[in-house]
Structure 1
Amino acid sequence: MTAALFASAGPLAATSLAAAPTATTGTTTSITDTRATLNATVNPGGEETSYSFQYGTTTDYGRQTRLTSAGNGTTDRPVNVDVDELTPGTEYHARIVASNGTDTRTGADVTFRTTGTPPAPAPKPIATTGSAVTSISGATVNGTVNPQGRATTYYFQFGETAAYGNQTAPQSAGAGTTPVSVSAALSGLRTDTTYHYRLVAIGPGDAIATGEDRTLATGGAGSTILSFFGQTAFTDQNGVGGVFLGCFGAVSCRGDMTLERSGKVVGERKGYTIRQNFGGIVHITLNDLGKRLLRQRGNMSVRTTVLNANGQRVTGVTKLIRYSTNGLKG
């Protein structure tokens, strides 16, 4: 019995040691016209920790090295990474970012200047961060990029703080002169969690543009409940009616709604939105079949199906009542 008690104390002791990591940005070394070595110190705090370096020509950074494990020790560990494709004669900013299950920490900003003669300035692309569509453990983030006539790539940075710490795979935005819509899918996100994200566009000669920081919130089991109160819906002379829906929880409800009778669609609503902890009428317009049936009957029952973006489906029966005959005659 004594041995068993002693064995169980080990994991408990290890768990109690887990803490947020510490991250200290070091001095940049081995600087040339186009290369440099970024250095830092990371203490994992007793919990599995990953780190990356962010760097760029401003404190928006824009570039990020790949995530690398720093282990789960409790002492300072020196880390470094070589970065290349830098622009000669240019000042750069850099910092370390370390993350574990407890928190994300960033080191102080440091600057260094590459050797050589800087090139003539080039036009920078324009990056605009757009909206996001979320699910329980993922999201699709959107934006626009104007390459300004030069070959441009883009990616999205994301993380639980404005330090981000993660990024999507770079994709081509082309070399046009007008804004193009871009998007990326984020997967493996934590449920019931707020994430920061932004769009980054990179043109030739290290011309980097960053979009504004925005946030999204993932859903989760029990976090947001879509409710349906649409037993009766009055319909006007144009076949426009409304179904009362409620959205209870941490994130807004977004999705589609369909009305059916005898297996045939009589009305659809694409892209409704109800903000979190709110409710209201979601309007829906009958199609030609729906208008014809309502014109013949005066009222009719339809099966209402409401889909939420996080995968919830709510169905029920709604009684449509025509309250005006204008426009539905003949």
Structure 2
Amino acid sequence: MNVMKASSRKMQEAREEQRETTKQDFQLNTNYDETTDIDRTQLWEQITTVEPYESLTTDIDKTQQWQEYTTEEPTEKDIFTATQQATTPITSSAECSQIVTRDILEETKKEIINTILSTISLEITKKLEDIEGRLATLICSNDKSPSAIELSWQIYENLQIPLTGWLFVFDQPYNHRTRLDDLNQIAGICHNQVIVTATFNESISLATVGPASVLTLNTSWNQSQQFWQVYWCRKNGKSFGFSPLPSIRQTSADNEDLNSLLRLSWLLDQNIGGYRAGAIRSFADNSLWHKVIYCN
């Protein structure tokens, strides 16, 4: 604004100087006479009339008014109107015609659940892969399995030592209908020795140790086969078991010496389970006593 005022002032001074020069020219004119004074005065007024200056002054005033208008402080009404316009939500002329139904909600819920489960599954898989990678880097100081505890081929009562190195391969309650196929399957796993036991509440009450071949014996009726200090029998349709003596009486299972604490006999390929653990017999409906076999 100051620049424009200075420019205007310079132009005015220039016009004044031009007017004075023109006036002097008129005075120096030797042909001047009073008869033409009126005409010259009119010409002088035309020359000294500065229309551009007045136009410039008008433009300057307009510019000043525009700046004053644009820099004017907004009123509270203007602020309220602008805020209302900014916070008014823009609504579409086309309203949503879709109705949210129970089926849509169920599909949305299933999609969310599937997404969550997929994310959890990926996280678990990643964690398992990390664990597997760490385990793969471990170096075992001794890659051999621990040696099985050595037991003599004899009959044991209330065996309480830990059976380190022995594999737990068979466990059925005494009322289980034991078959030849059960023993054959176990024989396919065991290739060295076996421990045949009768347990009560998971404690070994009666046990004996022998070669794995005792599981595939085919002894005659009321006959036994000796392995070290133990006599074994396995007769299809009768029984499987062991005894401290060679005498066996297979009426169905072994009923020889009913008071003996060292005889074990399981009914084999019959319609009921049982039958004997030491001096305790029957067990047809008993699930507390179990038939258990280990091997190494």
Q: TM-score range by the shorter chain?
A: under 0.3
TM-score for the superposition, normalised by structure 1: 0.19
Q: Which has the larger radius of gyration?
A: 2
Q: In proportion to residue count, which structure has more strand?
A: 1
Higher relative contact order (CA 8 A, sep 6+): 2
TM-score for the superposition, normalised by structure 2: 0.21
